Amino acid sequence: MMKKLLAVLTAVLLLLTLGACRSEPDEEQDMHTKDIFAMDTYMTVKTYGKNGEEALTRSEKEIHRLDKLLSTGSASSEVGAINEKGSGTLSKDGRVLLKKALELYDMTDGAFDVSIYPVMKLWGFTDQEYKVPKDSQLQEALALVNAGDIVFDAKTGDVSFAKDGMAMDFGGIAKGYTSQRLTEIIKDAGVESALINLGGNVQTVGTRPDGSDWRIGIQAPDNEEDVIGGIETHDMAVITSGGYERFFEEDGVRYHHIIDPSTGYPADNGLTSVTIVCDDGMTADGLSTALFVMGKEKAMEFWKAHKDLFQCVLVDDDGALYVSEGLKEGFTAMGGRTATYF
């Protein structure tokens, strides 16, 4: 019988929020916090100051609304229904997501491919029935993976697939989109200082209440209790992708959930974790997945071509840290590690 082992994340710990000890007592008193389980992950939203509770209530509602809309597993969700039927009309949220997904596909030369769903399904990542597919099955599914074959009208939201059996999976940007939406909602509620943590995908709203930067820890890919470094920032999403977040093991081999669309296999291009810092959550999320797929050399080149858009921290197979120049001030390596800046 197939050996099916664990998976699933230790989300709450993925990215630790550092610096809590620095908080002033007054600041803590004015903190409102809510833990939510949705999108298969543990989430915490913290707001500070006036209207903090109201912002949390609205945030929770929005998380559940988006979870329902985006869950690919359920045919009753918008995306599920379109996947099943092969065509349909996307609502406003879906349009924003697909538009960004197609942009990322072009920009990353297909490393980010929203039509990866048939391959995710073969591996069992969509229903937790994990198995290593036969190569012939993978080749068949891969023939359906090509976001260029998605026919999409961003104005009307009409979407259809050029090939039968194609399907979409917003998993690579859903949490980033959600944290982006929460940022808007929280600001609309009049809150100027908040921290959104969706299973390790962090987005900071404003600064800490005392005006100083937030300090976000990046989890070590091989040890959830270890932190490789911290990023000091404000008004930014800090989003990490790693093979350690969701995986299964079969015959002693580990298979994770970030798929290289050029092979159909879990991306194995020399990186164990990629953190993106960007003012847009959805972009940060998509790029963390894409750069993980690209591997170290290509990821560095990609950053050089888009250095105004984002900053990044890469961890390679040997645990070495490579950090983009723009984080020279903001990043601190921890645990005796050193960072190489590029």
Contact residues toward ligand ADP (CB under 6 A) are 112-114, 116, 120, 125, 169, 171-172, 175, 201, 241, 245-246, 257-259, 261, 285, 288-289, 293
Cα–Cα distance measured from residue 141 to residue 25, given in angstroms and rounded to the nearest whole number: 55
Per the listing, tokens 């099955």 go with 137
95 binds, among Mg ion, ligand ADP, none (CB under 5 to 8 A by kind): none
245 binds, among ligand ADP, Mg ion, none (CB under 5 to 8 A by kind): ligand ADP
CA 306-109-104 angle, to 5 degrees, is 65
Of 118 and 172, CB closest to Mg ion? 172
User: Minimum distance between the CB of residue 338 and ligand ADP, rounded to whole angstroms?
Assistant: 26
User: CA Rg, the chain, in Å?
Assistant: 19
- C-alpha distances in angstroms, 55 versus 18, 32, 162, 193, 212? 23, 9, 42, 11, 21
Helices (H), 159-210: 174-188
User: Minimum distance between the CB of residue 120 and ligand ADP, rounded to whole angstroms?
Assistant: 5
CA 166-170-174 angle, to 5 degrees, is 175
3-state DSSP assignment of residue 126: coil
Of 40 and 250, CB closest to ligand ADP? 40
φ and ψ of 38, to 5 deg: -160, 165
278 binds, among ligand ADP, Mg ion, none (CB under 5 to 8 A by kind): none
User: Minimum distance between the CB of residue 203 and Mg ion, rounded to whole angstroms?
Assistant: 13
**Site membership for Mg ion, residue 199 (CB under 5 A):** no
Tell me which residues in 133-192 interact with Mg ion (CB under 5 A). Answer: 172
DSSP assigned state of 148: G
Of 41-49, 252-260, 289-297, 311-319, the segment contacting Mg ion by CB under 5 A is 289-297
Of 125 and 331, CB closest to ligand ADP? 125
Of 40 and 62, CB closest to ligand ADP? 40
Cα–Cα distance measured from residue 185 to residue 84, given in angstroms and rounded to the nearest whole number: 32
Could you count the other beta carbons within 10 Å of the beta carbon of residue 85?
11
Q: Contact 160/141 with Cβ under 8 angstroms?
A: no
**Site membership for Mg ion, residue 47 (CB under 5 A):** no
Among 41, 193, 219, 288, binds Mg ion (CB under 5 A): 288
Of 205 and 291, CB closest to ligand ADP? 291
Cα–Cα distance measured from residue 26 to residue 8, given in angstroms and rounded to the nearest whole number: 37
User: Minimum distance between the CB of residue 219 and ligand ADP, rounded to whole angstroms?
Assistant: 12
**Site membership for Mg ion, residue 289 (CB under 5 A):** yes
Strand 321-323, strand 339-341: pairing: parallel
Could you count the other beta carbons within 10 Å of the beta carbon of residue 186?
28
**Residue nearest to ligand ADP as judged by C-beta position:** 171
φ and ψ of 76, to 5 deg: -80, -15
93 binds, among ligand ADP, Mg ion, none (CB under 5 to 8 A by kind): none
Site string for Mg ion, 232-251 (x = CB under 5 A): ---------x----------
**Site membership for Mg ion, residue 285 (CB under 5 A):** yes
Would you tell me which residues interact with Mg ion (CB under 5 A)? 172, 241, 285, 288-289
